[in-house]
Amino acid sequence: MWRRTVRHLHAGNDPCVGASAGEKTGAYAVRHSRGTRGQSLPLHGVHAHFRSGYEGSAAKSCKMRADPADYKLVSPGNLPAVLSLLANEPAQWLPIAGGTDMMVLYSAGKLSNRRLINIWNIPELRQIEVFPDRICIGAGCTYTALRRHDLISAEFPLLATAASWTGGIANQNRGTLGGNIANASPAADSLPALLVYDAELTLVSVRGERRVDYRNFHTGYKQTVMAADELIRDISLPRRFYGYFSHTRKVGARNAQAISKVCLAALAEISSGTIRDVRIAMGSVAPVPLRLHETERVLSGKKIGPTVIDAARNCAVKEIRPIDDIRSTARYRAAVAGNLVAEFLEKLATEGAHV
């Protein structure tokens, strides 16, 4: 049954695409610096040749390429001390939170920065504060903390679901939301949810703090507006999407432990069958996590029907900028992206009215 409902997303809608894929779906009816098209874009910063030490022999395949003696790790234990270190020796120190992205680079001998500041145990980065109009999530909160938070599950299900399918349990116990944002992979699972929820980041340094709309944070592939002496302290989400219909989908090679080939997070509010507000974002389809503004414009104020769904699908395919890489092809990504938008709208038409 489940297989039947997802099959149309793949080869069936593009006869030239035959790859099998794993998919995860979450549909909720709750109240309340370099990549360009055609180039190889390593997602998550993990290049194909990073994935093991394999060089033709079993002995070599087990070998770490980095030597711990070459690295220095300090644990200041509080935020002011971390910020001082970042300010006093600009670009010399790199924060390490859960280490789930950095240790991949380290073990591959690709972590060029040798001086690391442990921010895992900083209390200011681990809080989740609820206010009447917003929730403020410390950048050091893990996926497990996000999954277990009742208000996040109830009001921000797209984020809770993304947390639940980010890596495995061990990864969810260590990986942090701030690390996912700062790592700035276009394939990261939580980032489309942050786009549709209008997230705002607080960046801190010894110079003070500044607020940045998350939609302006990424400036290119793996590039952000964050300065070398800044940390992401928290992520703020306005509590105004309660009652929206929400739908999310991750399409990867397997059902677990897979990086997305394409992922979608979408929200909409409809009344009497007419779309009042719609928000669609995707990952793995451009150098940065992408909000599909043109597609949203096509849908805004319309009644959902086959013509509107086709127009939205076509617009989404034109709006994205997918590439061929080790995980997929641009053509497959485009076909799946269009189908994901169509699936969201079909579900919105049938389930969204009952939200």
| Residues in contact with ligand FAD by the rule CB under 6 A | 44, 94-102, 104, 125, 139, 166-167, 171, 174-176, 178-180, 182-183, 188-189, 231-232, 257, 259
Residue nearer to ligand FAD on the CB measure, 24 or 321: 24
- Short-list 215, 228, 218, 232, CA closest to 281: 215
**Please, which residue, 139 or 196, has the CB nearer to ligand FAD?**
139
User: How far apart are CB 231 and ligand FAD at their closest, in Å?
Assistant: 4
To the nearest whole angstrom, how small is the minimum distance from the Cβ of residue 171 to ligand FAD? 5
Give least dist CB 12 to ligand FAD, A.
25
First to last CA, the chain: 24
Considering only CA atoms, which of 65, 68, 73, 71 is closest in space to residue 96? 73
CB of 21 to ligand FAD, least distance (A): 14
What is the nearest approach in angstroms of ligand FAD to the Cβ of residue 268? 24
Judged by CB, which is closer to ligand FAD: 258, or 345?
258
What minimum distance in Å lies between the beta carbon of 86 and ligand FAD?
Answer: 9
Closest to ligand FAD by CB, 105 or 312: 105
With respect to ligand FAD, which residue has the nearer C-beta, 22 or 99?
99
Residue 101 DSSP one-character state: T
Whole-number Å distance between alpha carbons of 324 and 331: 8
Angle, helices 306-319/330-351, rounded to nearest 10 degrees: 150
- Shortest distance, CB of residue 34 to ligand FAD, whole angstroms? 16
Q: Please state the φ and ψ torsions of residue 239, each to the nearest 5 degrees.
A: -90, 65
| Lookup result for tokens 């349990």 | 169
Alpha carbon distance 78, 168 (integer Å) = 29
Nearer to ligand FAD, 125 or 341 (CB): 125
Nearer CB in complex with ligand FAD: 44/313: 44
Per the CB < 8 A criterion, the answer to whether 175 and 146 are in contact is no
Which residue sits closest to ligand FAD, CB atoms considered?
Answer: 179
In terms of DSSP H, where are the helices of the chain? Answer: 2-7, 58-61, 79-88, 102-107, 143-148, 150-155, 157-164, 169-174, 177-183, 191-196, 293-299, 306-319, 330-351
User: For residue 50, how many other CB atoms are within 10 A of its CB?
Assistant: 17
Nearer to ligand FAD, 175 or 352 (CB): 175
**342 Cβ contact partners less than 8 Å away, ≥ 6 residues apart:** 309, 310, 312, 313
Q: Which helix (H) or strand (E) holds 276?
A: strand 274-283
CA dist 326 and 132 (Å) reads 44
Least distance from ligand FAD to the Cβ atom of residue 99, Å: 5
